[in-house]
């Protein structure tokens, strides 16, 4: 338990890039209650999953958002940002990692493609209570409720801590605070994009493909992330990164072939 009269020291990152409006909205709210350090990708890194950069050098540059805040931009992924911040750039370990505010929900199967979530996962791997925050829109974002709730949850975790190897994945509907019905703890749904690749011809008459599609409407229970945000609640999913399927494990032992049988 940390002395809750102290201000938490929070590492802020995202996957939309350090210049994105979502991280700015988050920082401006967090600044009121915490000491902030910003280390975020220099450019947009959407759908990078839990990627880390092994084969290229990472560049780190100073970044200033007018008089509002300063930070470091990194030529890597969100997970790179958290790793290099904690392992190299910062003098002391942050109390919390906050990643967001992402444009676009990170719910259902999207969770495993999400750079926003991967930054918080990296924080959890490094032993730091971590939160990913996403907004369910790409256009006309209403950041205030998400920023406000993220700051509130940050203070809450600073006081109470969070289970080991766990992070919180928060998704906020893009409506005003008055329209938000409340907060629900959810499980990750299995909704995924019904993938469609569009085949196109470029200016040199060469074929290329572009990934599109819309989210398949699954018949899922009411307590999954996608349903809860659809119903105008904030969704909080506790996420962990042990991917073992324990249910299948024992059954598999009985039947796997040996190498030389």
Encoded tokens for 190: 């299995």
Q: Is 195 in the site for its own copies (CB under 8 A)?
A: yes
Give how many residues touch its own copies by CB under 8 A. Answer: 85
Considering only the stretches 23-31, 62-70, 92-100, 151-159, report the one whose residues sit in contact with its own copies under the rule CB under 8 A: 151-159
Nearer to its own copies, 24 or 45 (CB): 45
Nearer to its own copies, 23 or 118 (CB): 118
Q: Is 153 in the site for its own copies (CB under 8 A)?
A: yes
Considering only the stretches 1-9, 18-26, 134-142, 162-170, report the one whose residues sit in contact with its own copies under the rule CB under 8 A: 162-170
Q: Is 53 in the site for its own copies (CB under 8 A)?
A: yes
DSSP 224: B
Q: Which of residues 130-149 bind its own copies (CB under 8 A)?
A: 145, 148-149
Nearer to its own copies, 28 or 112 (CB): 112
13 within 8 A of 81, measured Cβ to Cβ:
yes
Looking at the DSSP bridge assignments, the partners of residue 184 are 235
Encoded tokens for 54: 């092994």
Classify residue 113 as exposed, middle or buried by CB count within 10 Å of its CB (0-12, 13-18, 19+).
middle
3-class SS letters over 61-109 = EEEEECCCEEEEEECCCHHHHHHHHHHHHCCCCCCEEEEEEEECCCCCC
Q: Is 239 in the site for its own copies (CB under 8 A)?
A: yes
Residue 148 CA, chain-centre distance (Å), reads 17
Q: Is 90 in the site for its own copies (CB under 8 A)?
A: no
User: Would the CA dihedral through 108, 111, 20, 133 be positive or negative?
Assistant: positive
Q: Would you give the binding string for its own copies spanning residues 197-226, x where CB under 8 A is met? A: x-xx-x---xxxxxx---------------
In the set 103, 105, 180, 191, which binds its own copies (CB under 8 A)?
Answer: 180
In whole angstroms, the minimum distance from the beta carbon of 110 to its own copies comes to 10
Q: Is 179 in the site for its own copies (CB under 8 A)?
A: no
Q: Is 47 in the site for its own copies (CB under 8 A)?
A: yes
**Of 136, 138, 153, the residue nearest 33 (C-alpha):** 153
């Amino acid at each position: 338990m940390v002395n809750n009269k102290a201000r938490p020291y929070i590492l802020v990152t995202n996957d939309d890039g350090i210049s994105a409006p979502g991280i700015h909205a988050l920082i401006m709210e967090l600044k009121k209650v915490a000491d902030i350090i910003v280390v975020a990708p220099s450019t947009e890194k959407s759908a990078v999953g839990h990627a880390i950069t092994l084969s290229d050098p990472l560049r780190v540059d100073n970044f200033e958002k007018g008089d509002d805040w300063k930070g470091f931009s990194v030529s890597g992924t969100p997970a790179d940002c958290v790793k290099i911040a904690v392992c190299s750039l910062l003098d002391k370990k942050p109390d919390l990692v906050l990643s967001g505010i992402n444009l676009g929900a990170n719910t259902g199967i999207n969770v495993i493609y999400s750079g926003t979530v991967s930054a918080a996962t990296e924080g959890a791997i490094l032993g730091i209570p971590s939160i990913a925050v996403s907004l369910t829109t790409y256009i006309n974002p209403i950041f205030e409720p998400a920023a406000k709730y993220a700051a509130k949850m940050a203070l809450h975790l600073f006081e109470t801590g969070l289970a080991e190897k766990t992070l919180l994945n928060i998704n906020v509907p893009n409506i005003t605070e008055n329209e938000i019905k409340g907060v629900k703890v959810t499980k990750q749904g299995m909704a995924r994009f019904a993938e469609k690749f569009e085949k196109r011809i470029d200016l040199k008459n060469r074929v290329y493909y572009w990934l599109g599609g819309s989210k398949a409407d699954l018949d899922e229970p009411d307590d999954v992330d996608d349903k809860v945000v659809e119903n105008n609640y904030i969704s909080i999913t506790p996420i962990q990164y042990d991917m073992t399927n324990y249910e299948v494990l024992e059954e598999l032992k009985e039947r796997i072939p040996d190498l030389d049988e």
